[in-house]
Structure 1
Amino acid sequence: MTLRGLFGGAAALVLIASAGLAQAQDFTAERLSESIRTISSDEFQGRYPGTEGERLTLAWLQAQYEEMGLQPGGPDGQWLQVVDLKRYTPVEGAASASWTGPDGTVHPLTIGQDIALRAVSNDGRASVENAGLVFAGYGIHAPERGWDDYGDIDVRGKIVMVVGGEPTAEAVTERFNGAYATHYQSAAFKSDEAFRRGAVGIITVFTVPASDPNWQRAAQFNNRQRTLTPGAADLEVSGGINMDVAHSLAMAAGLGNEVLTSLQSGEFKAVELPGVTLSVATEETIDTLRTHNLLAKIEGTTHPDEVIVYSAHWDHVGVGADHVSPVSTTEDNIYNGAWDNASGTVGIVEMARQLSAAPRAERTFVFAHMAAEEMGLLGAYAYTADPVYPLAKTVADINIDMLPLSPPTRDVAIFGQGQNDLEDRLAVLAESEGRYVGGDGMPEQGFYYRSDHFPFARAGVPALMTWHGWDWDEGGREAGEAAWKAKFAADYHRPSDEWSEDLDFRSAVENLTLLYRLGLELANSSDWPGWKPMSEFGSVRERTAGERQ
């Protein structure tokens, strides 16, 4: 007898209790396959935002929901939420920087050698004169981990200097997640924290000399176009300096090397660089790429203001090596994105189809198709910066990015294991089917921070994303891991990611069924899933606790 035949105890009770709901769903490999075949065809030209591929994709999605009889879920009763993405390109020769020491001597800094600068503010201009400097170590404030680099220092109107990453010393690694990085290591967190405290800018200290090739490469290519993340901290300026410049600033302020060496202890507190100021200026041109999220909904019967979001990104990377080229007549240069993420897009459509056939739930379901994930989760960030449904009353986000394409698996892999209790609810449902919940097995990838569930998590909404199990029913982990790694290496972000009649949707159907049951369980309860004590997102959720009473 296989594990699928062994049920007992609490798992059996859950299976019996959910049997009626389970009967309402009918996910099929055939329907998944045919829809993926449609929207990953050459006609959709890689579904790049702002192109004909976007228009075709959104029209197809809207037609599916209209046929099901779902309501538009976007702003003002519309299907679409407009997402305007601002793209910034530095004006050549516009950047300048210098620092002034306690003796009043001005020291010019060479752009692209000593310092790299970007305007952060929405108008594309930055001008900061003689701002005080504060060195804030890693720039991390994590009270749940007993870590606070800032202490009680006042950084209002100043520029904060931080080092990248997070503590890695053996003595303090238990405060973080070991091999799995936390959000605290990200530039976005460090910028948000500096902005929240009133800083006007943030400078990252690269702990390498000016001669280091990695520094030189980063500084010299800092002038590339970038797209501003919607809702990002509205600092005046961000930038980076090498260790030689940092050493000069510290010496002028009378600070020794012990400042850097104390960072890993957990006892460090931010220090001002007395008498040292920094002046910077730069300017960037702005153009706007307009794209759209598409949202559909099934309104709840008794608590329609409480929302469960199922999300997936509809976009991929378009055509050609630069993702916007014309279609080639001599080679296959269309990035069709059948797996990434036509599969998740269709998974959400099929989730809506099954939930619309079930008895109406007490809470509202929203099916959110996010734009510009491949450009940096930008559609999801735009949604959380300007949510259609209040985030305080959003029960959970269940995200699908690349359905598993494999035979059945014993494991249900998730990103961010240990973050919130959605995984515990999923584990009970999985156990009833002889399966178990496990991690993604690839800590070096930082997967929890790389798909559309993450902007929800960053905003405090409990978020879950299932991934590809490796523990196959037949062949076990050895076979499953080898097959997944081979497919990932062959097809991820390559033109070969195309529909094929040989794609195996059995594991996808298994996972969709579990996520269907999880959504219904949440939608017919009064529970509010929470973050676990060591999660970096629990404190964000707690700020709105009064709105969920």
Structure 2
Amino acid sequence: MRRLLLVLPLLALVACGDADAPADAPAAPFDASTAPAPPEAALAAIDTVALRAHIAALADDAMGGRGTGTPGEQLAVDYIIEQFRAAGLEGGMPDGSFTQDVPLRSIRVTEASPLTFRPDVGEPASFDFVEDAALGTDTDAASVALDGADLVFVGYGITAPGYDWDDFGDTDVSGKVLVAFVNDPPATAEEPALFQADTLTYNGRWTYKYEEARRRGAKGILLVHTEEMAGYPFGVVADDAFGAHPAGADVPEGALEVRGWISRRAGEALAEMSGSSLDAWMEMAAQRDFAPVELPVVADLTMEVEQTADLVGQNVVAKLPGRSAEGVVFGAHHDHLGTNDELVAAGQDGIYNGAVDNASGVAMMIEIAKAFAAAGQMERTIYFVTFTAEEAGLLGSAYFAQNPPIPLSQMVANVNVDSGNLYGPTEDIVGIGSERSDLRGLLATTAEAEGLTVSPDAAPNQGLFFRSDQLAFARGGVPAVFINTGDRFVGQDADYGQRMRDAYRADRYHQPSDELTDDLSFGGILQQTRVAFRLGYALAASDLAPQWRPSEAFAETRRQSMAD
């Protein structure tokens, strides 16, 4: 899933709908109980042997970690196209091709000094790059420096009129380096629904905080990482800080010279130098009347940066034509983190195989494509898209949504499969974001056909809906869901699956150890694949048209898209 220090561009997506459809025609009531069931022959086309074979091929060392724009990605793209062709799919781009080039650039920090904080009074403190600072740049410069840069603590760095929240007020932060927490301000007894309580909003994502810093003309932003707030260890953002990271082809407006993460230890030291504490900062930042604090501390840092302007990633786009131009879009990202050259040079395993994240999702999609091919022609066209550069900030899916093969208004829904359940069978399944639209009811119906119930997201504060590729579709108004692992594991040892999942998150997530090993299980991913297929089939074989809940901001985007 999403990772690293790059930015998901803001999508201003307006699509063209059916010119013959009246703009104000009322939507038919959505009745999930009318969803058609797929033929058994189609379900039988999905099997665990094939799922395992696809994951093994994509997570093999020969793929080199499937880094964006690398020979490893090309091998993965070739394999995926071969499997799609074998299943009888056509190229999904308007010219009939299977690939969509995604123009990017590569940013690689080659050398970096420690990040040094110098207080007006007292001794400076330095924090090593990677161990306590994982930083990058928006710019296309070969060298970046903070030389006595002014620091301003801006709380959570959020301006959200809908919540009557403004961490900036009238303070001019142009030319300053912002210091902010990740996540949202916590809900209170007086406002239990503040920022959707324990559900992370987009305002809490690091991508939003970068965007806000750019809008305000800041020189940079340092996000204070705590595992409780971020939902993952600091090592996840720091391990390949010296790696090559894809970014959008164009330097963003208001480009930040320095942006990224500092560890809790560095954040605590900075707060203490400023005459406070990290706990006190958290308490201050949680107040609606918070005002930015100019810190009596300046920052020094130098980074040497290698820039490559002609990096190109590839989205794979395939389709099974239906009887109408409307489409149901399945998505999964095929990229991973590539190779850590420093580890390889030290004689260690430096290939990020990405078996779970996300060879498993691509394997699921290939099997779903086979099932659709066995089911025969649908009413709606089914698209199967594997995205590049998801790990760099959802760049491949953002580009696809900005340059779709059909207008977004003709896309009925997006079903995203990412990091499949390789831990064991469950009694339930989770549809991240399904509660935002009619897809929740449809998912419940299709899950029931597999003997499963739908559980809510067990960790809503981690904001998974904003960390995977369905976000690009949602921001374009397309109802979207991320099919995720359930929480109630079953079997001879019901706790085994939970322990396996916890161990993966602690030791394998975004690590070279994310390999296909004998301790992984395929009963759970088979369940997920069948449910995802049933969900897509219900939409592709009918005229069901899920809509966003009226309270969702995406609903207005959809309305405008359909009207246009």
What is the TM-score of this pair, normalised by structure 2? 0.69
Q: Does 1:89 align with 2:106?
A: no
Match for residue 68 of structure 1 among 66, 87, 94: 87
Aligned to 1:9: none
Match for residue 411 of structure 1 among 428, 441, 448: 428
Q: Does 1:295 align with 2:309?
A: no
CA deviation string 1:200-243 (max 9, x = no partner) = 545448699xxxxxxxx9xx999956635438853343459979
Aligned to 1:422: 439
Aligned to 2:390: 373
CA distance change for structure 1 residues 222 and 82 in 2, over 3 Å: closer, same or farther? closer
CA deviation string 1:121-144 (max 9, x = no partner) = 456688999x99997543323344
**How far apart are 1:427 and its partner, in Å?**
1.6
Q: Does 1:227 align with 2:249?
A: no
Three-state SS of the structure 1 residue aligned to 2:211 is helix
Match for residue 54 of structure 2 among 9, 17, 35: 35
Q: Does 1:311 align with 2:341?
A: no
Partners in 2 of 1:407 and 1:205 — Cα distance?
Answer: 36
Runs of 5+ consecutive residues of structure 2 not aligned to the other structure: 1-30, 119-123, 227-234
Aligned to 1:265: 287
Aligned to 1:351: 368
CA deviation string 1:478-527 (max 9, x = no partner) = 45423443566675534472265x86433322222221121233333352
Q: Does 1:147 align with 2:151?
A: no
What is the TM-score of this pair, normalised by structure 1? 0.71
- Using the aligned pairs only, state the percent identity: 29
Three-state SS of the structure 2 residue aligned to 1:86 is strand
Match for residue 435 of structure 1 among 441, 452, 457: 452
What one-letter code is carried by the residue in structure 1 that aligns with 2:315?
A: N
Contact 1:120 1:126 (C-alpha < 8 Å) held by counterparts: no
Partners in 1 of 2:482 and 2:404 — Cα distance?
Answer: 20
CA distance change for structure 1 residues 496 and 396 in 2, over 3 Å: closer, same or farther? closer
**How far apart are 1:353 and its partner, in Å?**
1.8
Runs of 5+ consecutive residues of structure 1 not aligned to the other structure: 1-12, 99-108, 209-216, 251-257
Aligned to 1:517: 534
**How far apart are 1:296 and its partner, in Å?**
1.0
Provide the aligned length of Structure 1 versus Structure 2: 506
Q: Highest relative contact order (Cα 8 Å, sep 6+), 1 or 2?
A: 2
Contact 1:71 1:298 (C-alpha < 8 Å) held by counterparts: yes
Contact 1:161 1:204 (C-alpha < 8 Å) held by counterparts: yes
**How far apart are 1:192 and its partner, in Å?**
1.9
RMSD, aligned CA: 5.3
CA distance change for structure 1 residues 386 and 228 in 2, over 3 Å: closer, same or farther? farther
Partners in 2 of 1:249 and 1:406 — Cα distance?
Answer: 46
Moved more, 414-423 or 241-250: 241-250
CA distance change for structure 1 residues 265 and 51 in 2, over 3 Å: closer, same or farther? closer
**How far apart are 1:412 and its partner, in Å?**
0.5
CA deviation string 1:114-168 (max 9, x = no partner) = xx98642456688999x999975433233444434456x5969775846223213
Q: Please tell me whether Structure 1 or Structure 2 has the larger radius of gyration of its CA atoms.
A: 1
Partners in 1 of 2:112 and 2:353 — Cα distance?
Answer: 36
Match for residue 339 of structure 1 among 352, 356, 361: 356
CA distance change for structure 1 residues 436 and 74 in 2, over 3 Å: closer, same or farther? same
Match for residue 163 of structure 1 among 180, 185, 194: 180
**How far apart are 1:384 and its partner, in Å?**
4.2
List aligned pairs for 1:103-118, cutoff 5 A: none
CA deviation string 1:348-393 (max 9, x = no partner) = 1111122233343343322111224345544334434555554455
Q: Does 1:286 align with 2:307?
A: yes
Contact 2:107 2:305 (C-alpha < 8 Å) held by counterparts: no
Three-state SS of the structure 2 residue aligned to 1:18 is coil
Aligned to 2:43: 25
Partners in 2 of 1:417 and 1:26 — Cα distance?
Answer: 26
What one-letter code is carried by the residue in structure 2 that aligns with 1:548?
A: M
Contact 1:417 1:439 (C-alpha < 8 Å) held by counterparts: no
CA distance change for structure 1 residues 17 and 87 in 2, over 3 Å: closer, same or farther? closer
Q: Does 1:192 align with 2:211?
A: yes
